[in-house]
Structure 1
């Protein structure tokens, strides 16, 4: 009784290929000898299918975990880009009495009234007579973004690395296209 139930469960979990005792109209072997199914074979087959299902589930979970990590990374990158855009917009809206030119460094001050403004005069040039609170120096890039003075060296290093990559890339493409 228990063996029959086990065979039924194993047969339900494991899809077996339907039997054709006379393929193409020819009986090649005795169907009684070749189509005998041992109950232990069915149980083993069901176990293998269950094991495969477990591995497939684990594999999919691992791949989805990698995608979730990538999504979190991209969300953080998007947050940084949006914050940088807001900071750049804020700096562009700070009053100044001159035309800002890319490639120049400007100095940000705050008056006692709280108003911020850009000046071309650095704190060193003011010396001890600087009339307002110095907030920082910013370099206006050619793409109209701003780089804080403490980030200028890092940006310069990044740009040198990019230029080197582009130089190597151009050399490689020229070499490949000559062939």
Structure 2
């Protein structure tokens, strides 16, 4: 009776290999004995398929979770890049009565009229006679981006590390090219 129910079940869940009474051209002695199916074997096979489906689903879910985290990370990076681009553009459009040179630190001030301007004079150099509101100090980098004062040391350290990596990779490529 249980065998009949399994035979009537849809084939989408359990598929058996079709039988061949002459595998590889050799006649089997008794095809019934070699292709005999126990109903418990079919149940175990169905349980294995269900277990495999659960593992596949869990595996795919885990991989999609990693991708979702990467997407959030990339979105956050894109947001930061856009914010930095806006800040850089804003600083480049601030009035300045001198030619800006990379590597130089500029100080941002605001006049009582609201106009902002860049100066080479720091608040310490102005002393107590500083006539305007100090907004911050920025270094113009060689790529024409601006680094705020509180990030200058970290940016310099990063650049030193990058230069070391580039120096090592150039040495390696020259050494490997000579062989």
Give the match for residue 136 of structure 2: 136
Alignment partners' CA distance in 2, 1:3 and 1:33: 17
Give the match for residue 147 of structure 1: 147
Residue 107 of structure 1 aligns to a residue in which SS? strand
Q: CA deviation at 1:10?
A: 8.2
Give the match for residue 20 of structure 1: 20
Residue 4 of structure 2 aligns to a residue in which SS? helix
Cα RMSD (Å):
1.7
Q: CA deviation at 1:7?
A: 4.8
Kept in 2: contact 1:14–1:45 (CA 8 A): yes
Which moves more between the two structures, 121-130 or 1-10? Answer: 1-10
Kept in 2: contact 1:10–1:45 (CA 8 A): no
Task: Mark the runs of 5 or more structure 1 residues left unpaired by the alignment.
Answer: none
Alignment partners' CA distance in 1, 2:178 and 2:80: 42
Moved >3 Å (runs of 4+):
6-12, 23-26
Kept in 1: contact 2:139–2:148 (CA 8 A): yes
Map 1:2-151 onto structure 2 (within 5 A).
2-9=2-9, 13-23=13-23, 25-151=25-151
Kept in 2: contact 1:123–1:130 (CA 8 A): yes
Which moves more between the two structures, 154-163 or 113-122? Answer: 113-122
Q: CA deviation at 1:150?
A: 1.5
Task: Mark the runs of 5 or more structure 2 residues left unpaired by the alignment.
Answer: none
Q: CA deviation at 1:13?
A: 2.0
Aligned length: 179
Q: TM-score, normalised by structure 1?
A: 0.93
Q: TM-score, normalised by structure 2?
A: 0.93
Deviations 1:115-165 (A, max 9, x none): 111112221221111100111111111111001111111110000111111
Q: CA deviation at 1:113?
A: 1.3
Which moves more between the two structures, 18-27 or 84-93? Answer: 18-27
Kept in 2: contact 1:112–1:132 (CA 8 A): yes
Q: CA deviation at 1:23?
A: 3.6
Kept in 1: contact 2:138–2:148 (CA 8 A): yes
Alignment partners' CA distance in 2, 1:34 and 1:111: 96
